[in-house]
């Protein structure tokens, strides 16, 4: 009975992470469409939620990577593996909520991976075992994290330059109307792509918990109820709308126009869908941010707020170690107390910290009503344009 209660706590926590992933990453698909007025804020998040739900059923390649490519399942098993998963999830959720509070579009994926790596590392040190599969982490997490925003910025920059070159001579009003429709289509594709990539990560974590409980083996198929639960959780989170991060991406980094928005979203969708096909648990936040930055570089005379970009990059750099420290600390607490008592204490800590962060956010609320208010930080010197 005790093992079943712990399993249920882990599954509930995993779905809570999936929910935070949804509202944390809504900006990746819809920030530019909301900023340019292509879609009304509430319509945008509703559309994104539906497409995230659909996308979650299209692929499980990323779930396989998370379920078998991070934690060393040859050594971490049973109750030990369950505690690693639980502690890792708490690390991911706390980092997601903190960066949401600050309006920073950091990576939900790397928050989860950091939590899992931290918990597995500290377990390995205590147990004298290998806890982490470093080869898989470097190849499928670290390298994509370094390369994806750079590639996205280059692709989006070239796409923006091409869009403006092709549209030369078209009246601005006509141009913007046509590109707003293009934005709706490309933003929808990003939402679908997000479902194929990010919902899979929670599926992989629940899969790990079921292996630890003995319900499944590492060679089992992904249960349908896991797919449905994760799809619904990320869709509900997306519908809630992470307005703080939508505001940062839509208004704080670059003043977006409809052609830029379409170029950014199309570039993001292409890269995310490719990574899902290859089973790479890519950070959709890194891709979307790189694409938006690239549109600022690709448009002649566009202004990029490099101070905002710098804060984003700083958050990216510390995400893995920060979430890892939380995951390691949570593993330590759970290990010292042990059993169901340890799991309940960890769950209580998670609830208390989440409530505190939410109450802090109410001091300066951001909603669909003020998400497009003017950004009060001055823009930097215009970005160097790509030669026409």
User: Which has more pLDDT, 266 or 132?
Assistant: 266
8-state DSSP, 219: T
The terminus-to-terminus CA distance of the chain in angstroms comes to: 68
Q: Looking at the predicted structure, is the pLDDT value of residue 65 above 70?
A: no
Query: What is the average pLDDT value for the chain, to the nearest integer?
Result: 83
Share of the chain above pLDDT 90, in %: 22
Neighbouring residues of 49: CB distance < 8 A, sequence distance ≥ 6: 22, 235, 236, 238, 239
The whole-angstrom separation of Cα 367 and Cα 308 is 20
**What are the boundaries of each domain within the chain?**
2-361
Mean pLDDT of 20-42: 85
Residue 62: CB atoms within 10 A of its CB come to 27
Q: At CA 192, angle to CA 187 and CA 197, rounded to 5? A: 120
Q: Looking at the predicted structure, is the pLDDT value of residue 384 above 60?
A: no
Neighbouring residues of 281: CB distance < 8 A, sequence distance ≥ 6: 62, 65, 66, 109, 113, 140, 141, 144, 197, 200, 201, 275
What is residue 64's predicted lDDT score, i.e. its pLDDT? 63
What is residue 16's predicted lDDT score, i.e. its pLDDT? 94
Which residues are registered as beta bridge partners of 303?
A: 382
Contact 327, 119 (CB under 8 A): yes
What is residue 385's predicted lDDT score, i.e. its pLDDT? 43
Q: Where residue 247 falls among pLDDT bands split at 50, 70, 90?
A: confident
187-228: per-residue pLDDT in tens? 888 888 888 777 778 888 898 888 888 888 877 888 999 989
How many residues are present in the chain? Answer: 388
For 246-280, letters b (16+ CB in 10 Å) and e give bbbbbbbbbbbbbbbbbbbbbbbbbbbbebbeebb
Contact 334, 86 (CB under 8 A): yes
Side-chain half-sphere of 327: how many Cα atoms within 13 Å? 32
What is residue 381's predicted lDDT score, i.e. its pLDDT? 45
Contact 140, 104 (CB under 8 A): no
Mean pLDDT of 334-363: 93
Could you give the 3-state DSSP secondary structure of residue 303?
strand
Q: Looking at the predicted structure, is the pLDDT value of residue 114 above 60?
A: yes
Share of the chain above pLDDT 70, in %: 90
Can you list the positions of beta strands (E) in the chain?
none
* Range with the poorest average pLDDT among 27-41, 79-93, 265-279, 371-385: 371-385
Which residues are registered as beta bridge partners of 382?
A: 303
86-105: per-residue pLDDT in tens? 999 999 999 999 989 988 88
What is residue 382's predicted lDDT score, i.e. its pLDDT? 47
Closest CA to 94 of 362, 359, 349, 367: 349
What is residue 63's predicted lDDT score, i.e. its pLDDT? 66
What is residue 301's predicted lDDT score, i.e. its pLDDT? 72
Most confident of 174-178, 206-210, 298-302: 206-210
User: Which has more pLDDT, 344 or 37?
Assistant: 344
User: Which has more pLDDT, 23 or 328?
Assistant: 328
Neighbouring residues of 374: CB distance < 8 A, sequence distance ≥ 6: 251
252-261: per-residue pLDDT in tens? 878 778 888 8
Q: Looking at the predicted structure, is the pLDDT value of residue 386 above 70?
A: no
Could you give the 3-state DSSP secondary structure of residue 132?
strand
What is residue 88's predicted lDDT score, i.e. its pLDDT? 92
């Amino acid at each position: 009975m005790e093992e079943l209660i712990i399993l249920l706590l882990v599954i509930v926590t995993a779905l809570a992470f999936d929910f935070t992933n949804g509202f944390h990453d809504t900006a990746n698909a819809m920030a530019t469409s909301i900023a340019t007025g292509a879609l009304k804020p509430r319509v945008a998040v509703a559309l994104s939620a539906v497409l995230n739900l659909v996308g979650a059923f299209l692929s499980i390649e990323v779930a396989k990577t998370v379920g078998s490519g991070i934690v060393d399942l040859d050594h971490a098993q049973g109750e030990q593996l369950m505690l690693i998963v639980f502690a890792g999830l708490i690390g991911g959720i706390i980092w997601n909520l903190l960066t949401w509070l600050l309006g920073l579009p950091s990576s939900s994926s790397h928050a989860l991976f950091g939590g899992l790596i931290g918990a597995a590392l500290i377990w390995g040190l205590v147990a004298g075992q290998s806890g982490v599969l470093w080869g898989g982490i470097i190849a499928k997490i670290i390298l994509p994290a370094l390369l994806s925003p750079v590639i996205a910025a280059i692709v989006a920059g070239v796409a923006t330059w091409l869009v403006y070159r092709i549209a030369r001579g078209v009246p601005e009003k006509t141009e913007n109307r046509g590109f707003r429709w293009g934005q709706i289509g490309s933003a929808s594709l990003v939402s679908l792509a997000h479902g194929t990539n990010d919902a899979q990560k929670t599926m992989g974590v629940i899969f790990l918990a079921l292996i630890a409980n003995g319900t499944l083996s590492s060679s089992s198929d992904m249960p349908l109820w896991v797919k449905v639960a994760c799809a619904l959780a990320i869709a509900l989170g997306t519908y809630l709308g992470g307005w703080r991060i939508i505001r940062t991406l839509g208004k704080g980094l670059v003043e977006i126009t409809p052609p830029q928005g379409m170029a950014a979203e199309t570039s993001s969708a292409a890269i995310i869908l490719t990574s899902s096909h290859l089973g790479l648990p890519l950070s959709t936040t890194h891709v979307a941010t790189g694409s938006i930055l690239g549109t600022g570089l690709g448009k002649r005379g566009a202004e990029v707020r490099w101070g905002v970009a710098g804060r984003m990059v700083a958050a990216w750099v510390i995400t893995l170690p920060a979430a890892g420290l939380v995951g390691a600390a949570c593993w330590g607490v759970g290990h010292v107390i042990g059993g169901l008592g340890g799991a309940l204490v960890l769950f209580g800590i998670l609830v208390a910290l989440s409530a505190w962060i939410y109450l802090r956010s109410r001091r300066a609320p951001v909603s669909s009503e003020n998400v497009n208010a003017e950004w009060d930080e001055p823009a930097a010197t215009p970005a160097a344009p790509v030669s026409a």
